[in-house]
Amino acid sequence: MQIGAQLYTAHNRTKTLADFSKTLRKVSEIGYKSVQVSGTCPYEPEWLRDELLKNDLKCVLTHIPPARFDEQSVSKIVSDHAVFGCKNIGIGSMPMLAEDIEERYNLFRDKFVPIAKEIRDCGAKLHFHNHYQEFQGPFAEKSVIDRMLEDFPEDSIDFTLDLGWAAWADVDVVALINKLDGRLSRIHLKDYLDEIPEGIEESRVYLRPIYEGKLDYDTYINALSKVGCEYMLVEQDNCYGEDEFVCLRRSFENITRHFPKVK
């Protein structure tokens, strides 16, 4: 396994191509060798290819807006990704296709099963990223992931399991990792504390660098090592005014202190 940086952590530092370029350099200087491209300004695939090469990085996953599949053909999206060497195309959540969450899932399934198959047939793979809602409310008995395992062909989709949000939803994270054996090539590492400090508003949890929160990452990473996980991507959605690169560095150093071979 290898540790990577989910660039959404530094989304405030990628709003222009110049800043995006600096972010890639700083991430590489920390020691990361792989990234997920997400939450950035628009870019040409050739530009990203050259910037990754310049910084000795590889893009192992993206998050693209689901609406992009309405604007471009699947073959175009796959070929653009191929320019910068990425065969893994992610979406961050179910799109807001309806207010009712059950109807939203059904519309998502009907729209994205054919898309997932077409991406597969083009030689790439669709990846789905969870939050906490996929395990709550009407999905408490059978989660969105459970339904997707039934509805999507096995070879058409993998899961960018967000361990932090799954834990916050009171899911047995290790059991979920084991359930998705072979479908977790790229996952998100996220850590948090329950107690939110004064002055931090509009936050459900207090997100922290990995190993600085409450989650048992020794156990999680050992479980991931047995199910074919290739890339563990650090994501801290909010750094609350702290320098994003300092947070990414602390996560990198904390993880590699516990697991030196994941660099």
Q: Residue 202 has what pLDDT? A: 66
Q: Burial of 133 by CB count in 10 Å (0-12 exposed, 13-18 middle, 19+ buried)? A: middle
Domains identified in the chain, total number:
1
Find the DSSP H helices in the chain: 17-30, 45-54, 68-71, 74-83, 101-121, 144-151, 163-168, 173-179, 217-224, 244-258
CA neighbor of 164 nearest in space, from 210, 103, 112: 210
Phi/psi of residue 224, each to 5°?
Answer: -60, -35
Can you name the residues that pair with 70 across neighbouring β-strands? none
From residue 94, give the alpha-carbon distance in Å to each of 23, 82, 103, 110, 226. 28, 24, 11, 12, 28
From residue 201, give the alpha-carbon distance in Å to each of 7, 25, 183, 191, 239. 23, 31, 35, 18, 13
- Give residue 128's Cα distance to chain centre: 8
Residue by residue, pLDDT tens for the chain (263 residues) are 999 999 999 999 999 999 999 999 999 999 999 999 999 999 999 999 999 999 999 999 999 999 999 999 999 999 999 999 999 999 999 998 888 989 999 999 999 999 999 999 999 999 999 999 999 999 999 999 999 999 999 999 999 999 999 999 999 999 999 999 999 999 999 999 999 998 887 678 999 999 999 999 999 999 999 999 999 999 999 999 999 999 999 999 999 999 999 98
Q: Residue 235 has what pLDDT? A: 98
Q: Residue 201 has what pLDDT? A: 73
Instruction: Tell me the C-alpha distance between 67 and 65, whole Å.
Output: 5
Phi/psi of residue 198, each to 5°?
Answer: -60, 145
Helices (H) and strands (E) in the chain, counts: 10, 10
Instruction: Residue 188: give its domain's CATH number.
Output: 3.20.20.150
Instruction: Tell me the C-alpha distance between 4 and 235, whole Å.
Output: 9
Q: Residue 178 has what pLDDT? A: 98
Q: Which domain holds residue 238?
A: 2-262
> ∠ at Cα 2 (181, 257), nearest 5°?
115
76 and 122 Cβ atoms separated by less than 8 Å? no
Instruction: Tell me the C-alpha distance between 247 and 239, whole Å.
Output: 7
Give the predicted TM-score (pTM) of the model.
0.96
